[in-house]
Amino acid sequence: MNLSLVIPVYNIEQYITPMFNSLLDQSDPHFEVIIVDDGSTDNTYNVIEKILSRNPALFCKVIRTENHGVSAARNRGLAEATGNYVLFVDGDDYVSADLVSTLHSYTQDEQPEIICWGYNHVSEGRETLLSCTSDFSDVTGSEALARIFVNKSLRIWTGSIAYKREFLLLHGLGYTERCVNGEDQEFIYKALSRAARVISIPDILSFYLQRNSSISNSYNVNKFDVVDAFKRVDEYFKTYPFAELDTISPLLMNRELIENYFFNLKTCLNGTEGVSIQELLRDINHTYPKLNQEMDELIRRYRGDNRRLTLYIRTFLISPLLYHRFISVERGLSRFKRNLLKGNGTRKESRI
């Protein structure tokens, strides 16, 4: 078996069918599917069973567990996988019909530890919102990390990267369980730091569904778990040092940490009407007692070249309330532009 697709699912009965359709459309049948139902309480399991009963040729194992979170589900799927390579993809996303055949063409003889590819952010109506592609490269994991952090020429998402299974087992790599946000970046960065060879291809082979109900679009203080996730990555880097460590570690623990902090502030505030930034900061203090103080000290030392982030920092340091008002105006302008584009009958595609 060339590829194992590990797919955790939880209460996505309305979203699982496109994933299965994309698997049934594969031009290369040499893959297995491992569904880990993480304690769904809706009709997800029955929908899966119905699809599988109509498509007995699909090599698929379904594992039902109690609800322990997506990381535990991915770890369970990895333990059950038998393919040469493993891809972790969520059940509400989907893949290109050429995914398996394309990966096979690059891994049959080359056998890199990691292979990654382009992907699209898509709406529930399958409209492309953002395309993330990179030029072809064949580099070390250390060089791939430099492309992510220094050159910003490589974007990787959980569903756009496959790992040689033996490589993951050799280094004991797994997802940090009960981490709500940042566990995927943690896993990717750790794996890249240990990889001798990483192939990146420009083909768009995965599609990342942007749901309004997802954690990234809601008020969920636990998404600040990403701070501890980045701290674990930095500790891992220093335990297993690599060529670009001295350059990447400061970027990870400064620019990247600050960007994620403000991103999560913004999505929490934009995701819930009527919640003030003072309430949000109090909730953060309650869940992570030292986090706001640590971030305040960090952002005061920021000297990066990200103009928007610099503006966020300046307004926030003047007054968190001013920052809240600023991003509210920013959101209103964004909505106006989207409506204007719809009114003109056009669609704007962003591209990295």
Question: How much is the pLDDT for 239?
Answer: 98
Closest by CA position to 170, among listed 90, 240, 246, 252? 240
> Three-class SS of residue 136?
coil
Question: How much is the pLDDT for 211?
Answer: 82
Judge contact between 306 and 312, C-beta under 8 A. Answer: no
CA distance 116 to 128: 20
The residue to which tokens 């990717």 are assigned? 188
Q: Which residues contact 91 (CB under 8 A, 6 or more apart)?
A: 7, 8, 9, 12, 15, 16, 19, 35, 44
Beta-ladder partners of 60? 33
> SS3 letters for 98-116?
CHHHHHHHHHCCCCCCEEE
Predicted TM-score (pTM) of this structure: 0.92
Beta-ladder partners of 7? 35
Question: How much is the pLDDT for 214?
Answer: 57
Question: How much is the pLDDT for 229?
Answer: 98
What is the tens place of the pLDDT at every residue in 238-290?
Answer: 999 999 999 999 999 999 999 999 999 999 998 677 789 999 999 999 999 99
Question: How much is the pLDDT for 311?
Answer: 95
Positive or negative torsion for Cα 133, 160, 200, 255: positive
Q: Which two tokens stand for residue 255?
A: 């620019």
Closest by CA position to 92, among listed 185, 10, 184? 10
- Please, what are the averages of pLDDT over each run of 10 residues along the chain (352 residues)? 93 96 96 98 97 96 97 98 97 97 93 97 94 96 97 96 98 97 98 98 97 70 97 98 96 96 94 86 97 97 92 97 94 73 44 26
Separate counts of helices (H) and strands (E) for the chain: 14, 11
Judge contact between 241 and 45, C-beta under 8 A. Answer: no
Q: Which residues contact 272 (CB under 8 A, 6 or more apart)?
A: 218, 219
For residue 352, the tally of other CB atoms under 10 A from its CB is 12
